[in-house]
Chain A
Amino acid sequence: MSAEPGLLEIRGLAVRFPGDRHSVTAVDGVDLSLGRGRRLGLVGESGAGKTQLALAIPGLLPGAAVVGGSVRLDGEELLGASASRLRSVRGARIGFVFQDPQTALTPHLTVGTQLVETARAHGKLGRRAARAAARQLLERVQVPDPATRLNQYPHELSGGLRQRVLIAIALIAGPQLLIADEPTTALDVTVEAGILALFRELNAELGTALLLVSHDLAVVADLCEDIAVMYAGRLLEQGPAAAVLEVPAHPYTAALAGASPRLDAPAEAPLAAIAGGPPAPGAVLTGCAFAPRCPRAAPRCVVEAPLLRSGRPGGGAVACHYPLAGAGPP
């Protein structure tokens, strides 16, 4: 990894939701870097805190959340920035694509109006210029017949087309960073394949860095150069996606890869399931969060939380007292 600071530098990020009896820690001290123009996949199961982390970056968490640590975009601290400053960062410098293309678009405005409004909110474009830009961008995200689509309402579009429109809206102000939270989870695999290809093209052509939040290791393997694996609010492993997925160092990464059904594995064999479930939200964790489910756990794992240390074989970092020494899954 280069010493030069990345586009996005997250240090000790913590997100906590205080409650009457106990508070829930969604993100528990995460360090994460994303280089200019890179594609990083943040994976984890439900409740791991990946969406809360993604929302914390552009300051989109609800007011009840207590956020600590530091989030720097191109050197500028975003945590604690004023509401008006954050508004100008969102859209102009950070674009956001949400999971459900059905609800992320306003149902009573045409696609064109929504694109034009976003363009005008961030630039000094006139109405006509903004409309031309909108049309061009729809073409760029491969929406067929863009002139017609501009006058259509979201419900007239298929799920895949809606997601392309959302990507166009996220990109219209030319952001440096695109955050996509489970952008293909609600879509068919056939449609997903097209959307992932589009993300790759846009990244290559526009140089927009991508933070992809996903539960699906295969999707991250397909699209991202780097991967970060999250569990119970913490990062357990990060590094080059190919190296991490081929030879995981953390037992959780290995278990997750083993539980994913592959087409090249024997069809008759049972899947390598991970026993138990993730800790309940609000559970107080001493030691490693994965220890209760870990086949390699030793007494030390239950009392002492491992730190994320660099020096992972193949690059990256791992938070484990007894990492798999490049030997592959146990």
Chain B
Amino acid sequence: MTPLLAVRGLGVEYRTGRGRLRALDGVGFDVGQAEALGVVGESGSGKSTLARAILRLVPATRGSVSWLGRDLLGMARKDLRRLRRDLTVVFQDPLASLDPRFTLATAVAEPLIVHSPELTRAARQRAVAQILERVGLAPSLASRYPHELSGGQCQRAAIARAMITRPKLVVCDEPLSALDVSVQAQIVNLLRDFQREQGTALLLISHNLAVVRRLCTRVLVLYLGRIMELGPRAPLYAAPRHPYTQLLLECVPTLGRARPVAAAGAGEPASPFAPPSGCVFRTRCRHALGRCADGVPELLADDSGHAVACWRSGELLAGAPGTVTAPSPAS
């Protein structure tokens, strides 16, 4: 079956005052129909750039992205516009992503006006009322403007707007970071229900590994623009194969366990302007050896589709944690 989204060798470079910044480098993965894929990593890992490149909000410098087999990066504006019905987005800041001059009902109806002009006004209003109820917004809120709503209500409206055309894939870029814990849980459950009940695929960009675990069945781990690990949820969380994934999981603040002492020495990402040679993670890796500087490790998958880019993954998996070297301090 053709995947919904196929990303191959994707590279994005930004030209900045401080020189070239390679935000993404050789990133490749698929998103299947109705699948929920999570993308995690620290700030500067390229998560948001990945979302933006797929949405064509930043130009890709290398590689390809195809949508149901069609080239997405070379697609004409006219076709791209049509695609926005099937490929929608939810951004981090719910207040900023809604037009302040539109009432909630207008904002949510807009995608239908654009993509389904054949609908009668009454049919459109029915659809809006339905989706508002679906995302848990009271009908009385329909005539309100974004500034009159709470952050959680705005994010529900943004989700209603993203879902009203019954898209095949919704790209969610940190949809929960601006929300309180109690509201965050409501939104997580809402996205989960859409994915399960309507078969909407999700590409969830998030720094929060605990949230991604609740929503996604596969997880992609990015560091300095490269994929470190890509695998099914269960093995990735229970037995992460890349030292970077292990580090991220150690650092997640979560109830019910003390953060391991080692987490305190996690350090900070290396500069994206001067990424380390070879494996980009080696300067923070507690398993790094001299040879990790020599070449970029390939992302290699096993039979189950669990892939890792680490020179030492074979040895480390064989269970030789005794060879652990001292963690090198971040420079």
Contacts and interface: CB of A to CB of B under 8 A. Distances in A.
Interface residues of A, number: 44
Contact of A262 (B184, B234, B255, B261): B255
Contact of B189 (A192, A262, A273): A273
Interface string A205-223: 0000000000111110110
A257 B213 CA distance: 17
A261 B210 contact: yes
A265 B159 CA distance: 26
A267 B330 CA distance: 33
A245 B214 contact: no
Contacts of B268: 158, 160-161, 188, 190-191
Interface string A172-194: 00000000000000001111111
A132 interface: no
A274 interface: yes
B324 to A, nearest CB: 18
A217 B188 CA distance: 18
B259 A193 contact: yes
A193 B261 CA distance: 9
A264 B257 contact: yes
Interface stretch (B66-74, B119-127, B175-183, B306-314): B175-183
A45 B186 CA distance: 14
A148 B14 CA distance: 29
Contacts of A255: 182
Interface string A41-74: 0000110000000000000000000000000000
B2 interface: no
Main secondary structure of the interface of B (DSSP, over half): helix
Q: Which of B150, B192, B214 has the most CB of A within 10 A?
A: B214
A272 interface: yes
A190 B213 contact: no
A259 interface: yes
B258 interface: yes
B150 A190 contact: no
B141 interface: no
Contact of A189 (B213, B253, B329, B331): B253
A217 B181 contact: yes
B325 interface: no
Nearest to B213: A267
B234 to A, nearest CB: 8
B183 A277 contact: yes
A91 to B, nearest CB: 27
A193 B258 CA distance: 11
Interface in A246-268: 255-257, 259-265, 267
Interface string A158-176: 1111000000000000000
Given A197-B264, A267-B213, A271-B189, A188 B43 contact: yes
A270 interface: yes
A282 B251 CA distance: 38
Nearest to B186: A273
A144 interface: yes
Contact of B181 (A144, A259, A270, A275): A259
B185 interface: yes
A261 B208 contact: yes
A218 B184 contact: no
Contacts of A274: 182, 185-186
A261 B254 contact: yes
B181 A215 contact: yes
A46 B254 contact: no
B59 to A, nearest CB: 27
Contacts of A221: 255
A193 B263 contact: yes
Contact of B185 (A160, A263, A272): A272
A259 B182 contact: yes
A219 B253 contact: yes
B171 to A, nearest CB: 21
Contact of A222 (B181, B210, B259, B329): B259
A270 B189 contact: yes
Interface in A270-304: 270-275, 277-278
A277 B207 contact: no
A219 B253 CA distance: 6
Contacts of B182: 45, 255-256, 259, 273-274, 277
Q: Which of A192, A193, A264, A277 has the most CB of B within 10 A?
A: A193
Contacts of B211: 261
Nearest to A45: B180
Given A222-B259, A273-B186, A192 B253 contact: yes
Given A191-B266, A260-B185, 9 more contacts: A45-B180, A189-B42, A190-B42, A194-B264, A260-B210, A261-B211, A262-B254, A263-B254, A267-B233
28 contacts: A45-B183, A46-B180, A189-B42, A190-B42, A190-B267, A192-B253, A193-B259, A217-B181, A218-B253, A218-B254, A222-B258, A260-B181, A261-B210, A261-B254, A263-B213, A264-B254, A264-B257, A267-B237, A270-B188, A270-B192, A271-B189, A273-B188, A273-B189, A274-B182, A277-B150, A277-B182, A277-B183, A278-B180
**Shortest beta-carbon contacts, A-B, top 8:** A197-B264, A218-B253, A273-B185, A190-B266, A261-B210, A271-B185, A259-B185, A274-B182
